[in-house]
Chain A
């Protein structure tokens, strides 16, 4: 069940034996469920990773929400609205999954709003033109699908189940984005230039979504050992590049990397080095839109407070009415 605190009745002296049993279960490919014993470190790592993931879904609504009112036609507008609504749903799935680890959602949201929680840096880049909506769906959701397909096999049951549900829905996100770019690339010279400009700006940040190189990723080894992650950051990044390059070629768009080349022997596309200085700058809060995104979330939280208060007042009134009728 969802909010269940784990069994803490055993003494600390049992810890090594329980840890061994826990790791044996992981080695056997077992899923860990909320009420199962788990090392405190596993719980904390999951709370950190899952809440960051949930925050990313919620903040991820902002760059795209920016274009809902300016979508070029009704078909595009309906698609974009449905996509942004999905992102809200995805945030809720993962918040609920995180709560099974014994943490309150309100506390997680408080950490997001006060700036102490992180979310995916990709959402700190601006959406300057309509083509950015295409680039986000194709590249950002495309990268997210590669990552989340792996996480659908995560060792923690509630996380894995949320990922299965999300992956089913996200294929539409990617296709609606790719269709936007493909359409622009069949358009006028100005439309093609707009599509190319969007991909020029979103390509490298999309590659950064997979995180630092494995040897520089502070959490990777532990998450891999505990089966939260099944693959390293670099392997997933390579998988994304390999699947994306042919899609770029198909619509005649150029990926902005002069080092991009097909390695016949390895069977992979090799690519240039990521600008890690930019990566860390954005992670540390100095990206183009970090302050704007948090400001928008704070405003949404404050503006929605009266709705939450009204819902609570209504629920209270209904309870009281039911009680007085019963009496």
Chain B
């Protein structure tokens, strides 16, 4: 393989960047998987192995999920206001909205 002096050879040898994967780690049994970061890998198997080496060198996880970044659909920050508005103005979805007579417990 070529060094940096021969970039044309790099391209021929398939030196384009590998797909990006998002890594989710579960810190312990019964806990939810949380986003840990991302990495590049040519396939799912190597993505899992790389995720183990990059994100769990000190027993940080009992389980790992990897998912291709381009498979994730995310909400848009610029639309966050109207998008989340239906859940933000409904005080009656919270217990504090409802009045209970004084002294009554466990309601």
- Residues of chain A touching chain B, judged by Cβ–Cβ distance below 8 Å, are 1-4, 7, 33, 35-37, 82, 85-86, 89, 92-93, 96-97, 99, 104-106, 110, 113-114, 161-162, 165, 169, 298-299, 301-303, 305-306, 308-309, 311-312, 314-315, 318-319
Contact = CB atoms under 8 A, between A and B. Distances in A.
A2 B20 contact: yes
Given A89-B53, A93-B54, A113 B4 contact: yes
Given A298-B3, A301-B4, A99 B42 contact: no
Interface residues of B, number: 31
B39 A96 contact: yes
Interface in B18-58: 18, 20, 22, 37-40, 42-43, 45-46, 53-54, 57-58
Contacts of A105: 17, 40
B78 A92 contact: no
Contacts of B69: 1-3
Interface stretch (B8-16, B83-91, B96-104): B8-16
B43 A33 contact: no
A152 to B, nearest CB: 15
A86 B58 CA distance: 10
A305 B13 CA distance: 8
A7 B77 CA distance: 9
A309 B22 contact: no
Contact of A89 (B7, B43, B57): B57
Secondary structure dominating the interface of B: loop
Interface string B70-96: 001010111000000000000000000
Contacts of A299: 3
Contacts of A82: 57
A36 B77 contact: yes
Contact of A1 (B22, B42, B54): B22
Contacts of B74: 1, 4, 35
Nearest to B21: A2
Nearest to B2: A302
Nearest to B40: A105
A110 B13 CA distance: 15
A7 B46 contact: no
B77 A1 contact: no
A301 B3 contact: yes
B72 to A, nearest CB: 5
Given A35-B76, A89-B54, A302 B17 contact: no
Contacts of B76: 7, 35
Contacts of A308: 14-15
